[in-house]
Chains A and B, each alone.
Chain A
Amino acid sequence: MSVLVWRLYRGQAAIAVLVLAAFAAVLVVTGLSMASQWHTLLLGCTANSSCADLAATVSLGGSVAGHDIVLLSLAAPAAFGMLVGAPLLAHEFEVRTTDFAWSQSVTRMRWLLVKVGWTVLAAAVWGGVIASLVTWWSGPRNALLQNAFQPTTFDQQGLVPIGYAVFATMLGIAAGALLRRTLPAIAVTLGGFIGLRLLIANAVRPHYLGTVTAYFSPKLSTFTPPGSAWVISQGLVGKNGQVIQVGAGTQMINGVPIGSLSASCQRLVSARLTLNGVARGHVAGPSHAVLSCLQSSGVRGFATYQPASRYWPFQGIETGIYVALALVLLAVTYVVVTRRDA
């Protein structure tokens, strides 16, 4: 049975290996040049101790083509699910080769499990090879931009691409088992994969573990949590912890919206602002009265984030979710295929 699977899929296997080889060639070439560029930069900035503002002054793209191809790796799991997963059963039903396959000495269960098993294993290898290349390639960029935890960067590195590939393939197989036609199965795989990925990345992932919130003086308009943290929301809160909406026209004094001060303080501040001839913005060195006004307003800046140390737990949780979904789909496929009449 395993030999049969190999015979059926050797063409696809050869194409997949070729695609992977081309992908690896582009990434290794651009990745090596990027890594050497990064080491030169580090040496240079250590010599004159300007490493802190490296991220603002340097862009580390490798080549533009390399960057675009790395972004395309986001679609690699869906491509495998559509081109290998969806036709796996649907095509057999469509051209009725099941009639032949199911009347042999191999049981239907064994037929299904061997076929699905090898395919899912191939999907995991496909996702794993692409993910490890992208992770290696992105090393210098991650160090420079501290963005490994951000959406889309998180989605193309580490473990999660393996989970996505396994899930997309099982989604294709299950859709094929239920719809029994290749093209609708491909469309459902594409739509289902994108829909679920968007849903989990936007609505579920931020809540895998409780967020950490840091409060700071509103004067610090930019507070960044240490390392490659994932900042989920930030802004200003008032004395009672309610979030203050700051729009384009909001008048501010030292980072505090004037509207959130008490009435007497507002009069004091606007008097001072007109005195200095400043229509809006920051006042250099407010008087003691204004300072105490700002303190009594209780306005603080906040940043809600997932700390950098949670990167691997999050990768593990997300991979676990997709593998679990793939197992559910496997169970559905198994029931559909073994229970129906030939």
Chain B
Amino acid sequence: MSFLVWRLYRAQAVIGLALLAAFSALLLATGFSMASQWHSALATCTTDGGCGNLSNTLFLGSHAVGFLVIMTLGVPVVIGVLCGAPLVAHEFETGTRDFSWTQSITRRRWLLVKAGWLLLAAAALAGVVSGLVTWWSGPDNALQADAFGPGRFDIMGIVPVAYTLFAMALGIAAGLLLRRTVPAIGLTLAMYLAVRLLIDQWIRPHYMSAVMHLYGLTQNWVPSGAVWQLGSGVVNPSGHVLPMQNGADIGPNVSVSTVPSVCASGASQAQNNQGGVLTCMQKLGYRQFVSYQPASRYWAFQGIEFGIFVALAVGLLAVTYVVITRRDA
């Protein structure tokens, strides 16, 4: 059975390996030059003490390769669409399942061996791509301190492997549900994007409760390291966040309309006496805040996100298994 899977998929395997080889060659070539550029920049800035503003002056890598690296966001869904969705759907569509299911091999074994090898191959492909991207981005992550941000978090570390397993499982399940390849591809695409967006936007920020740092209205404070900043602004003494009304600011995060009447006899006067107004508000208990996920939680978040998507994949595969083994041929 394993041999059959290899015979069926050897062409796809060759194409996949060729694409992977081209991608690795490009990333290795540009990655080494970028790393040496980074090391020489570090050496120079250490001698003249200019490392602080390095991220404003230095640009690492090239725009084209950087764009290609961002596009690896699409690798899981492409694997799910081209490899997962047809896995069952195409067998139904062309009627080959009538043949497969009447052989000496049980339906259960047919599904497990076929899906098992393809899931393994997909995970390996995604793992290699993610490994390359993580290595390549090392200097850039150190320079920009943005590895935790949305869009960067999603292409590095272990989460791309989980996304790929999920996309494959989604494709297989959609194929079983719809029994036709093209609709299964459409459904896989739509569901993958919907689930990823949903988790990205509304669930990931809350894996652990964010750290809230309060500081004075006239101070400046930035969290250190590659943090994921979720929000910033001003809270009033009772702890409510003041609405941000841009346009007429009298200091960072404070707009004229939110100044309490005790501190300003009139909005126009407030603008001419910014320092006084801010000190007055500070005394009343107003504070600036930054809420963020600290850099130390990066791997915990990677682990949680990995777990969620693997769990979703396992759930979908379990449904597929039950439906295929129980239904009549």
Interface residues of A (CB under 8 A from B): 15, 19, 40-41, 43-45, 47-48, 50, 54, 57-58, 64-65, 68-69, 72, 79, 82-83, 87, 91, 94-95, 182-183, 186-187, 190, 194, 198, 202, 247-249, 279-280
Contact = CB atoms under 8 A, between A and B. Distances in A.
Contacts of B47: 249
Interface residues of B, number: 37
Contacts of A43: 247
B209 to A, nearest CB: 20
A87 B182 contact: yes
B245 to A, nearest CB: 8
A280 B47 CA distance: 11
Interface in B59-88: 63-64, 67, 71, 78, 81-82, 86
A248 B57 contact: yes
Given A72-B193, A183-B86, A198-B67, A65 B48 contact: no
Contact of B185 (A41, A44, A186): A186
B29 to A, nearest CB: 18
A272 B156 CA distance: 48
Contacts of B78: 190
Contact of B246 (A58, A65, A72, A247): A58
19 contacts: A15-B186, A19-B190, A45-B247, A48-B248, A48-B271, A50-B248, A58-B247, A68-B201, A94-B94, A182-B182, A183-B90, A187-B82, A202-B63, A247-B44, A247-B58, A248-B54, A249-B41, A249-B44, A279-B49
Contacts of A94: 94
A83 B85 CA distance: 13
Interface in B74-108: 78, 81-82, 86, 90, 93-94
A254 B127 CA distance: 48
B156 to A, nearest CB: 19
Nearest to A281: B50
Q: Which of B50, B185, B193 has the most A CB atoms < 10 Å from its CB?
A: B185
A83 B182 CA distance: 6
Interface in B210-247: 245-247
B246 A44 contact: yes
B269 to A, nearest CB: 13
A183 B246 contact: no
Contacts of B48: 249, 279-280
